[in-house]
Copies of this chain bind each other. A is one copy, B any other.
Amino acid sequence: MATDITGQLVDFARLTPPSEAREMMRLSLFDWVACAIAGAREVEFANFVAVQKASSTGTAQIVGGGSTSAPAAALINGTLSHALDYDDTHFAHIGHPSVAVVPAVLALADSLPDAIDAATTGVEASILVGVWLGRDHYQVGYHQTATAGAFGATLAAGRLLKLDAKQLRHALGLCASMASGVKAQFGTMAKPLNAGLAARSGIEAALWAQAGMTAAHDGLAGPLGFSATHHGGDHDVTLGWKAPQILSISHKFHACCHGLHATLEALSGVRLSADQVARIDIRTHPRWMSVCNIAEPQTGLAAKFSYAQTASMSVLGHDTRAIKSFSDAITRDADIITLRNRVHVEADERLSETQSEVAISLANGEVQRLRCDLLSPMSLETRAQKLRSKAAALLGADLAAPLWKVTQGDSLPDLLDLLKGRS
C-alpha cells in the first residue's frame, strides 16, 4: 500500500470546510440531536448508562440528562443516538457518519461554530476513509459506521484539541489499534454500541496523543496496519473540499428499514382510502427482497421491514416518520390488512439500491405511476423542512422548534441544555 492516507488526513484537518458543507452538517446535527433524545428514552440502555456514570466523572453533557467525562459521554451519546437506527447515512461507504463523530465533538467543543467545523471535517473524513477502505471491508463484516467512523471522530477531536501535525498523526495511529466493530452485532444492542465505541475511540486517541502517546507512523496504510489487517482496498480518494461527500448524505424520513424509504418517498404525496385502491405494484432493487419484504407482519418491529405494511400505512395517512406509528396494533388494523393484501412487490435489476417505482391502480381504472431515487438532489431548504417534520413527529413540536433554532445558531450551552431532552 503506497498511500500515506494518514498524512493526507492530517493535512485535511487543517482546512476550513466550505459553507455549504457546514450548512449540511447543521442539518445533520439537528437530526442527530432529535435521534439522540428519542434514543435516550429507550429504557433498555439505562443500566449501561448508569455503569458509565458510576465510574467516570466530568462536565460533558449526557443526552437525556447528567454529565460525565468526555470519553464516557461520547460512548453513551454515540450509543443512544444510534439506538433507533434513525440517524443519517452515507451510501458511498455505507455508514452512519454523525453517530460516531458528533458525540465526540460535543464532548470536547468550546463553541458551536468550532463544533460545526470539527464535525464537518470529521464526517467528511469518515466517509472518505470508508471509501478508501472500500466495499470488501464492509462485505467481509466490518461495520463502517464504527471503523471509518472512529477515524473521523479522531480527526474531529484532534482538531478541537488543536493537536499539531505530529500529535494528530499519532492520534490516527492510536485509532488504528482501537477502531473496530463487526456486523455480527446487527439486530442486537451492540450495533448502536459500535457507534458509541467509535466516538469514544476518537476522543481517547486524540487525548492520549496530546498526553504524549506515540503510535505507528501510518497506522492506516502502513505495514501491519489497519488496511492490511482489515481487508482494506486502498481505493483512490482525494482528501479535500472540491466535491464534498457530506452533501450527499441521506437522512431517514421514515422510522423503518432504509430499503423501504425510496418507496415511501415515492408515495409521499398520495392519500387514499382502502376502497379507492385496486392494486399497488412496487418495483425495487433485488437486494432488498430478503431484507424488508415481510408480506404479513404481526409486530411493530416486523412492520418496519415490510413493503406491503408501510406502503399501506403511508397511503392511509399513518405517519411513518414517528416511532410510535410502528405498533403491534397497526399490523392488525382492518384497513391496513385489506390494502396490504393488494400490494405486490417485484425485484427489478434495472433499479439501483436507492430507487423505487410504484404503480397504483385505482378502483376507477386510473393508474398513478410514481418513482423516487433517494440520491436525487434535494435542496437544503426541502431537506430542512422534512427534517423538522421528522423531529416534530419524534419529539413533539415543543421540543423540535427550539432544537431547530439552537442548531442553526451559535450557542453551544443552549444546544447542550436541549440535549437533556426535557419536552
Which residues in A have some Cβ–Cβ distance to B below 8 Å?
Answer: 44, 47-48, 50-51, 54-58, 69-72, 140-143, 146, 173-174, 176-186, 188-190, 193-194, 197, 207-208, 211-216, 218-219, 222-226, 228-231
Contact = CB atoms under 8 A, between A and B. Distances in A.
Contacts of A225: 141, 182, 184
A177 B194 contact: yes
A213 B48 CA distance: 7
A215 B188 contact: yes
Contacts of A231: 229
A71 B56 CA distance: 10
Contact of A173 (B174, B181, B185, B215): B185
How many copies of this chain does the complex contain? 2
Contacts of A193: 174, 177, 208, 213, 215
B219 A47 contact: no
A173 B193 CA distance: 12
A185 B216 contact: yes
A103 to B, nearest CB: 15
Contacts of A207: 51
B182 A51 contact: no
Nearest to A220: B184
A185 B177 contact: yes
24 contacts: A48-B208, A50-B211, A140-B224, A140-B229, A141-B224, A141-B229, A173-B188, A173-B190, A176-B182, A176-B185, A177-B185, A177-B193, A182-B224, A182-B226, A183-B224, A184-B216, A184-B218, A184-B228, A185-B216, A185-B219, A188-B215, A190-B213, A190-B214, A190-B216
A174 B230 CA distance: 18
Contacts of A181: 177
Contacts of A224: 140-141, 182-184, 186
Contacts of A190: 173-174, 177, 213-216, 219
A57 B176 CA distance: 27
Contacts of A188: 173, 214-216
Given A55-B72, A146-B177, 14 more contacts: A48-B211, A55-B58, A140-B224, A141-B223, A142-B229, A177-B185, A182-B229, A183-B224, A184-B225, A185-B219, A188-B214, A190-B215, A190-B219, A229-B231
Contacts of A71: 55
> Which of A180, A208, A225 has its CB near the most chain B CB atoms (within 10 A)?
A180
A182 B48 contact: no
A208 B51 contact: yes
Contacts of A189: 212-215
Nearest to A48: B211
A226 to B, nearest CB: 6
A184 B216 CA distance: 6
A239 to B, nearest CB: 20
Nearest to A143: B177
A170 B237 CA distance: 37
Contacts of A142: 229
Contacts of A69: 54-56
A207 to B, nearest CB: 5
Contact of A180 (B47, B50, B178, B185): B178
A77 B408 CA distance: 44
A174 B182 CA distance: 10
> Which of A69, A140, A219, A222 has its CB near the most chain B CB atoms (within 10 A)?
A69
Q: Which 3 A-B pairs have the closest CB atoms?
A: A55-B69, A141-B224, A47-B211
A190 B185 CA distance: 27
